[in-house]
Amino acid sequence: MAKHKICIADLLARKASGPKIVAVTAYDVTFARLFDEAGVDILLVGDSLGMVVQGLDNTLPVTLDEMIYHARAVARAKPQAHIVVDLPFMSYQISVESAVAAAGRVLKESGCEAIKLEGGTTVTPQVAACVAAGIPVMGHLGLTPQSINVLGGFRVQGRTPVAQDQLLKDAQALEQAGAYALVLEGIPSELAERVTQAVTIPTIGIFAGPHCDGQVLVCYDMLGLQPKRQFRFVKRYAELGLATIDAARAFVHDVQAGQFPDAAHSVAAESIRE
């Protein structure tokens, strides 16, 4: 029996009936297949790849071509999960036309199903234009990594009543513009609960408490692939970084000791004769 492809209607229904939505970042076909097998609902091809894959200090240098490259790899897994791709910095902020062009390239060239962009009322024209062009849009509010130079770094947002009221207005404006879901990052849990109750579209939290309609984690953090990179809000479900180091050390030992390859991992001439 063919797998059911998770679509926007499924995600919208989950807000009312559950269960909560589970999203994980993925940047290649291998992780996309593994996470899909695990039952993840959304694969987010995040511009976080700039930091966890490319080794950059932030997401700002990531290009549209790079996002499409990684999104195409994820789409090759043909997952049941819904695939969302981040629009990178300055691919949508300049104008409505640039936003639609960038978003259209992502869908046409990658085979993914939706895009995500950061910002509130300032980007609602871009959201509305993309939706009108048939491009599904997920919003992103709170700690928006592409705005770190304005925010003063990776800091919790929505600290004051004024900021909280503005974030709520931004969420409602994005919904009105046609966004089908919102990522809420780095905000107080009470504010995330307030936003979640105020909109009819699903909210997906990261460092935003338990009251959102779903949760997302960066896969490298969730899997402990970078042992020295730890965040208080991340629950590490494995320590694959340390396991990888141990495996590589064992390989180094076996090669240097002449224990690999052995007969079981070699081919004798007589075994290949016709």
pLDDT of residue 81: 98
pLDDT of residue 2: 58
In sequence order, the 6+-apart residues with CB closer than 8 A to the CB of 106 are 64, 67, 68, 71, 85, 87, 112, 115
Q: Where are the alpha helices (DSSP H) in 8-123?
A: 8-17, 29-38, 49-52, 64-75, 96-110
Q: How far is CA 102 from CA 53, 115, 134, 162, 217, in A?
A: 22, 10, 13, 33, 25
pLDDT of residue 232: 75
Q: Do residues 68 and 87 lie in contact, with contact meaning Cβ atoms separated by under 8 Å?
A: no
pLDDT of residue 227: 81
Token readout for 6 is 């998770």
With CA atoms as reference, report the closest residue to 12 among 37, 42, 43, 36.
42
Rounded to two decimals, the pTM is 0.95
169-202 per-position pLDDT tens digit: 999 999 999 999 999 999 999 999 999 999 999 9
> How far out from the chain centre does Cα 120 lie?
19
**Residues paired with 68 in a beta bridge:** none
Classify domain 8-238 at the CATH topology level. Answer: TIM Barrel (3.20.20)
pLDDT of residue 273: 65
> How far out from the chain centre does Cα 248 lie?
28
Model confidence at 270: pLDDT above 60:
yes
Task: For residues 243-253, give the mean pLDDT.
Answer: 97
- The residue annotated as part of the active site, out of 113, 118, 175, 185, is 185
Q: Do residues 185 and 135 lie in contact, with contact meaning Cβ atoms separated by under 8 Å?
A: no
59-73 per-position pLDDT tens digit: 999 999 999 999 999
Query: What's the rounded Cα separation, in Å, for the pair 46 and 17?
Result: 27
User: How confident is residue 271, by pLDDT bands cut at 50, 70 and 90?
Assistant: confident
Mean pLDDT, the chain, whole residue set:
95
CATH 3.20.20.60: which residues of the chain? 8-238
The listed range with the strongest mean pLDDT (35-39, 227-231, 261-265) is 35-39
Q: Do residues 77 and 29 lie in contact, with contact meaning Cβ atoms separated by under 8 Å?
A: yes
131-169 per-position pLDDT tens digit: 999 999 999 999 999 999 999 988 999 999 999 999 999
185 as an active site residue: the answer is yes
In sequence order, the 6+-apart residues with CB closer than 8 A to the CB of 7 are 82, 113
**CA triplet 89, 92, 98: central angle to 5 degrees?**
135
Question: What residue type is 47 in one-letter code?
Answer: D
